Amino acid sequence: MSQTLAPAMPTASRQPNYGMLARNLFIAVVLAYPFLDLAFGWQALLAFIPMMLMITLAMGLNIVVGYAGLLDLGYAAFYAIGAYASAFFTSPVSPLNRILPDSPFFWMQDFWVAMLLAVLVAGASGALLGAPTLRLRGDYLALVTLGFGEIVPRLVKNLEPWTKGVKGMNPIGRPYLFDCTFGVDPCTIFGTQYKLGMIPYYYVTLAIGALSIFLIIRLRDSRLGRAWAAIRDDEIAAQAMGVNPVTTKLWAFALGASFSGATGAIFGAYLQTISPDQFEYSTSVIVLCMVILGGTGNVWGVMFGGLLIQSFDRIFAERLTGWVHKFGAATGVPAVATLLNNFDLIRSRLFIFGLCLVLLMALRPQGLLPARKRRETALIDETEEEANARLDAAVAPAGGPR
């Protein structure tokens, strides 16, 4: 097994490094995508923005589920809190709009400030939810988070004076860069006016996603990240090593939730309308599936899983269906055409999705790209002997003290 990996290492410097190449190509395509999309007329830009938002959400959830091992079934609640917090500060329909512009706090209506506030609010609510669940483990914890995920949309529906209830909030403040407000104004770049449409949203979403990954990796490799892993593996041993389980878990909930705060803010601004039904249980489940499908605990796995699910959900299901229908019509045989017209991936996408999950869990429960590839066995058989040899060496100078 390890032989397939081992020889690749020394030759890597001479042969082109395909992994590197693939990565750089991926980054280049992602960076240039809006222009490729325009040039080739793919018309998928609007699918990519929510897709990247969902992947960023999955990254945040991965802190809670993957790193700290706390099963959270209500993560969409923080997404909702982030979106509503941002809308609350920036939307003209928000009750705050009546007092804020003339108050010394008018700067809170600025989109970027509101987004930061949304991050803080989401993070704080993460800690707030975390607090009562600290004594719970496994199934019980999952049930409480499920409850929280149900409570938040219901609160939003019923707190009408603040949230506009089921009608939702609309419009919402838009992000801007320099003088250009996203999605409305034509932007002036070097004296020329461009109609950029949704392209700025793409880049902002991408930047936030990339920044999230960057920060999450830093967290993972820090003292806190190690404490998360320890708590996840063995809470009693972690405590004995000086890890405070209470603060460690609260950090996981708070930091995990804060990433969904930023995501929620962009999401609201992008759609220009938010309503409680966007944050129902199914959103939590989809995000959780992205984490599990890719490989719980591995940033790149989560990204891959997210890309897979989201691109199927938002792009391929629809396109494939269209292609099949066209093919049916092209055959010219009415029977085939009707038959193929019944083929509908969009309607059966949840079925396909469920089927894939079942298969995955049966065949590869650790996910497509698991957190750590474990080297197996060979080491142990070999080193039992070596260990004894070394132990002999260790015993030799034993007479010394005493």
Partner 1 sequence: MTAEGTGIVLDVTGLTKQFGGLTAVDSVDFRVQERQICSLIGPNGAGKTTLFNMVAGQYEPTSGDVVFDGRSLRGLRPHDITARGIGRTFQNIRLFTNETLLENVLVGMHSRLRSSPFAALLRLPSQRREEAEAHARAMDLLKLVRLDRFADESAGNLPYGMQRRLEMARALASQPKLLLLDEPTAGMNPQETLAMTTLIRKVRDDFGVAVLLIEHDMQVVMDLSERVTVLNYGQKIAEGTPREVQRNDQVIEAYLGRRHKRPEDEVAGAHA
Query: Exactly one of 239, 272, 273, 311 binds partner 1 (CB under 8 A); which one?
Result: 239
The torsion angles phi and psi of 75, rounded to 5 degrees, stand at -65, -30
Pair 3, 378: CB distance under 8 Å: no
DSSP letter (8 states) at residue 375: P
Q: Taking the mean position of all CA atoms in its chain, how far away is CA 265?
A: 14
Q: Among the candidate windows 162-170, 221-229, 263-271, 303-311, which touches partner 1 by CB under 8 A? A: 221-229
Q: Among the candidate windows 187-195, 262-270, 284-292, 376-384, which touches partner 1 by CB under 8 A? A: 376-384
Query: Exactly one of 102, 139, 179, 384 binds partner 1 (CB under 8 A); which one?
Result: 384
For partner 1, the closer of residues 255 and 269 by Cβ is 255
Residue type, 39: A
Contacts to partner 1 from residues 198-217, by CB under 8 A: 215
CB atoms under 10 Å from CB of 324, counted, come to 16
Query: Exactly one of 52, 73, 141, 255 binds partner 1 (CB under 8 A); which one?
Result: 255
225 is a site residue for partner 1 (CB under 8 A): yes
How many of the chain's residues bind partner 1 (CB under 8 A)? 45
For partner 1, the closer of residues 9 and 39 by Cβ is 9
Task: Return all residues near 248 (Cβ < 8 A) that are at least 6 apart.
Answer: 68, 224, 227, 228, 231, 238
Q: What is the largest CA-CA distance in the chain?
A: 97
Task: Return all residues near 112 (Cβ < 8 A) that are at least 6 apart.
Answer: 175
Query: What's the min distance (Å) between Cβ of 136 and partner 1?
Result: 18
Contacts to partner 1 from residues 173-192, by CB under 8 A: none
List residues bridging with 192 in a β-sheet.
189
For partner 1, the closer of residues 39 and 395 by Cβ is 395
Query: Exactly one of 93, 245, 271, 285 binds partner 1 (CB under 8 A); which one?
Result: 245
Query: Exactly one of 29, 131, 158, 234 binds partner 1 (CB under 8 A); which one?
Result: 234
Task: Return all residues near 268 (Cβ < 8 A) that are at least 6 apart.
Answer: 83, 84, 86, 87, 169, 172, 274
For partner 1, the closer of residues 99 and 380 by Cβ is 380
123 is a site residue for partner 1 (CB under 8 A): no
Query: Exactly one of 12, 333, 346, 387 binds partner 1 (CB under 8 A); which one?
Result: 387
For partner 1, the closer of residues 195 and 374 by Cβ is 374
243 is a site residue for partner 1 (CB under 8 A): yes
Rg (C-alpha) for the chain, rounded Å, is: 25
DSSP letter (8 states) at residue 87: H
C-alpha to C-alpha distances, 119 to 39, 175, 387, nearest whole angstrom = 36, 15, 51
Pair 213, 58: CB distance under 8 Å: no
Query: What's the min distance (Å) between Cβ of 360 and partner 1?
Result: 20
Residues that bind partner 1 (CB under 8 A): 215, 218-219, 221-227, 229-230, 233-234, 236-245, 251, 255, 371-372, 374-376, 379-380, 383-384, 387-388, 390-392, 394-395, 398, 401-402
